[in-house]
Structure 1
Amino acid sequence: MTIIKLNATHSTNSYMRQLLATKELEDYSVVWTLNQTRGRGQMGTVWSSQPGKNLTISIYKDVSWLGISNHFFISIVVSLALIQTLNELMIINLKIKWPNDILSDNKKLGGILIENIIKNNQLKASIIGIGLNVNQTNFDNLPQASSLINITGRVIPLEEILDRVLINIKASFLKLQEKHAFDELKKNYNSTLFRLNKPSTFKDKNNNLFAGYIYGTDKQGNLLVLLENKVIKSFGFKEITLLY
C-alpha cells in the first residue's frame, strides 16, 4: 500500500485524479495532506480544515467486481468503517447523516466524498475522500461542527486515526465481497441513520420546507421519507436536504 503525504494541496481527490491520468495506482493507495486548501464536500460544498489538525485523505479502491447498480454500497461500507473507527476511540452517540456525514451528539465530525470511475457502464474504481475533524478546537461560523479533541479532551495522533481508518475500510470492503452481505450492511447503515423514524424537517431543491419521517434508504441510496399523507417517497441527495 502506497501513502503519498503532502504538506498542502487543493484537494486530495483532485490530486489523486491527476495521478491516475499518468499511472496506475495500487489498491488502497492513499493521498494524505496536512493542509487541504480547497476541500470539497457533497453538492459542491467546501470542506474547511485547519492545517495539521485534521485527517484529510483520499483512498483509491478497485471496485471493478461490484455491479454499477450497487454503487451506493461503497458509501455504506465507508460510512460504517468510520463509525467503527470512532467506536474504537470511545466516541458516543454516533450517527450517519444521510448520505454520509458522520455525527456525534448531533454535531458533525466528518464527511465523505466518493467519486466513482466508470468505463463502458461498468464500475472500475472509486476515489474515496475522507475528512475527519481530529485536533481542531474552533469552528468559526460552524455551530454544528465538532472534533475528537473537543469530545475526548485529548490530542490524537493523525497517524493513529489513519491506521484505524484503513484497517476498518479494508475489513468493510472484504465484508462487501462476501455472499449475502448486502442485506446486513444495508440494515446496519439504515439503523445508524440520523433522525431515523423521528419527525424531521426537509428542504427540497426549490427551498420549500416539508415534514416527514426518515424510513431508510433504497438500493440506489435514495432517502426514503414517510410523508404526512402516509406515502413513502424516495429522494436523491441533490433533491432534498435534511435540516438539523
Structure 2
Amino acid sequence: MYMRQILRFDELDSTNAYAKRNCSLLSDQTVLVARTQTAGRGRMKRVWLSQAGGLYFSVLLKPSQTQFLPNLTQWMALAVCESAREAGAEAFLKWPNDVLAGGKKLCGILSEAVTGKNGFEALVLGVGVNVAQADLSRAGQPAVSLKMLGIALTPEEMLQRILDRFFEGYEQVVNRGFESIREAYLARFPYIGKPVTIRYGAQEAAGTVQTLSPRGTLLLQTPQGVTEISIGDMMV
C-alpha cells in the first residue's frame, strides 16, 4: 500500500495550484487530496466541477530523468482505468488521458510542469475521479460516477487503489516511457480502426486511428497519409 506523504484538505482552490505554489517545500511523491475544490481545472483551461463525493488529488513528482514526462500522465490514466475495472466498472481509455465508462467521463487528468530559474523542477499530475456523486447533470459534459454504475467505493478507497497501482509501475515509466505500458494501454483503448477527429490548438485532423506509437503519440491515417499527433482532443 502507498505509504508516502498524503496531505488532506477539506477545501482548496485546486490541488494542482497548491502543489505548484508549494513545490519547493514539498517532497517528491507527495499527494495532496481535497474533498472539494473551488477552482478545479481540466485540460484546455476547462472548469472541473468538484462536487462532494468525488476524488480530487494531485501527485507532485520530481523524477530522476525527464525524458518521458508525458507518458507519466498516460500511466496515471491507465492506473485509474485499471483500478476502476478492478472495482467492477467497464472503464476504457480515450487518448491521451481520459477515462470513460459507458461512453461518459469517469476521470480527467491535468498534468502541469513546474519550472524555475534552473529549468524543470517538478511534474504535477492532477486527477479528478467521479466516485460517489449521485448526480452529475451539472458537469457540463456526459459524465458518470462509480456510484451511478452501482459500485460502492469511498473516495479514500479509490485513492489507495490508484496510488498503489501508479507507484508500482512509476519507476518503469520514468526509465522506459510509454513502451513499458503500451501493450496494457492499447488493451484499454477501443479506438483502433475507428474514425475520429483530433483538435489541437486551432487545427483539426480527421482520419482513422491506426495505432499508438512507442512514444504514446497517436498515429492517424488521413487522406494525406499517416499523421503523428502528440497532444489534442479526440472527438469520436
TM-score by length of 1: 0.83
Q: Which of residues 196, 201, 204 is equivalent to 1:200?
A: 196
Aligned match of 1:8: 11
User: Which consecutive unaligned segments of at least 5 residues does structure 1 have?
Assistant: none
Q: What residue identity is the alignment partner of 1:197?
A: G
Change (3 A) 1:174 1:87: farther
| Letter of the structure 2 residue corresponding to residue 31 of structure 1 | L
Alpha-carbon deviations, 1:13-41, whole Å to 9, x = none? 001112224x2x22321111111111111
Name the counterpart of 1:188.
184
Q: Distance in 2 between matches of 1:11 and 1:190?
A: 31
| 1:28-47 pair list within 5 angstroms | 28-47=29-48
Aligned residue number for residue 73 of structure 2? 75
Instruction: State the Cα distance separating 1:143 from its structure 2 match.
Output: 4.9
The answer on 1:20 being equivalent to 2:23 is yes
Query: Which secondary structure does the structure 1 equivalent of 2:192 belong to?
Result: coil
Q: For each residue in 1:105-154, what CA deviation from the matched residue of structure 2 results, as whole angstroms up to 9, or x when unmatched? A: 21110011111235688754211110000011222254521110011x24
CA-to-partner distance for each residue in 1:138-171, whole Å, 9 max, x for gaps?
A: 22254521110011x2432121111111111111
Q: Which runs of 5+ in 2 are unaligned?
A: none
Task: Please tell me the residue identity of whatever aligns with 2:228.
Answer: S
Percent identity over paired residues: 27
Q: 2:56: which partner in 1? A: 56
Question: In structure 2, what residue type is equivalent to 1:223?
Answer: L
TM-score between the two structures when normalised by the length of structure 2 = 0.86
For 1:85 and 1:62, how far apart are their aligned partners in 2?
A: 24
For the aligned residues, what is the CA RMSD? 2.5
Instruction: State whether residues 182 and 216 of structure 2, in contact with CA within 8 Å, keep that contact through their aligned partners in structure 1.
Output: no
| SS in structure 1 of the partner of residue 89 of structure 2 | coil
CA gap of 1:227–1:195, structure 2 versus 1, over 3 A, is same
Matches within 5 A, 1:123-202: 123-140=120-137, 142-151=140-149, 153-176=150-173, 182-202=178-198
Write the distance in 1 (CA, Å) between the matches of 2:51 and 2:177.
Answer: 38
Cα pair distance change 1:13/1:234, threshold 3 Å: same
Aligned length: 232
The amino acid across from 1:226 in the alignment is: Q
Question: 1:45/1:129 Cα in 2 relative to 1: closer, same or farther (>3 Å)?
Answer: same
Q: Quick one: which amino acid aligns to residue 56 of structure 1?
A: Y
In structure 2, C-alpha distance between the alignment counterparts of 1:132 and 1:80, rounded to whole Å: 13
C-alpha distance after superposition, 1:193-242 (max 9, x if no partner):
3522212234464476x53112233465442211134x1112342xx432
Give the equivalent residue in structure 2 for 1:234.
228
Q: Which residue pairs with 1:99 in the alignment?
A: 96
